[in-house]
Amino acid sequence: MYKKILVLFFWSILFLLSASFQKPISKEGKKELPAPDKINNLLFYIQRSINISVINYVLNNDEKGELNITEPIKIYWKNYASDGSIEPLNYIQRKFAYGIEIKMLDAEKKLFCFNFVSYKKKKIFLIKSLIDNKYQAICEMNNKMAILNKIFIQIEGGSFWVPKIKYIEISGKDFSKNEEIIERIIP
């Protein structure tokens, strides 16, 4: 009996956590989605078609302005669906959807490689620019290296655990031509 109550409580909490972000938008909602503004050290962000809240991936600096090498990227929601508050990812979101797995490649240069826990195929590198000394998220888009700016996920149906993802658009800036570039992934 105790286990059933505990399971029911757990699922109720998960529902409340996910429902707090659910404010549906139109299928063509990309144009209606808010983009984060004035966020210091923003690397990139994720927008989703099912809700207007944005997931921000921000460089994590310590008090001295140096990169925190144990946790170089902070991830959090900007909850545009209600009051604009900032909220951390919950356990399920961190471990199964929007969290990242990060590995240091070079301690001296503070070079990192990471991928999303939900999509391990796309490798992203956290690299300090030689031009302006700022860190950038770099990945391959359409067979070109680019600075990652945003990701849009078109979700059409499915369930909480297994959403039906129609496509993912990755947007950035091409290094060689300094032009916007978009790669569409159909899972």
Tell me the average pLDDT across 16-22. 38
Residue 134, exposed/middle/buried by CB under 10 A (0-12, 13-18, 19+)?
exposed
What three-state secondary structure class fits 13?
Answer: helix
- On the question of pLDDT at 139 being above 60, the answer is yes
Residue 171, exposed/middle/buried by CB under 10 A (0-12, 13-18, 19+)?
middle
Residue 45, exposed/middle/buried by CB under 10 A (0-12, 13-18, 19+)?
buried
Domain ranges in the chain are 2-185
Q: What is the pLDDT of residues 102-131, one digit of tens each?
A: 999 999 889 999 999 999 999 999 999 888
* pLDDT for residue 6: 31
- On the question of pLDDT at 137 being above 80, the answer is yes
The per-residue pLDDT of the chain, averaged, comes to 84
- On the question of pLDDT at 57 being above 70, the answer is yes
* pLDDT for residue 19: 38
Tell me the average pLDDT across 53-82. 93
Task: Look at 33 and 101; give whichever has higher pLDDT.
Answer: 101
- On the question of pLDDT at 55 being above 70, the answer is yes
Helices (H) and strands (E) in the chain, counts: 2, 11
Residues 187 and 168: beta-carbon distance below 8 Å: yes
Tell me the average pLDDT across 159-167. 88
Residues 115 and 100: beta-carbon distance below 8 Å: yes
Kindly indicate the confidence band of residue 31, based on its pLDDT and cuts at 50, 70 and 90. low
- On the question of pLDDT at 81 being above 90, the answer is no
Residues 169 and 182: beta-carbon distance below 8 Å: yes
Q: How many C-beta atoms surround the C-beta of residue 92 within 10 A?
A: 15
Q: What is the pLDDT of residues 144-155, one digit of tens each?
A: 999 999 999 999
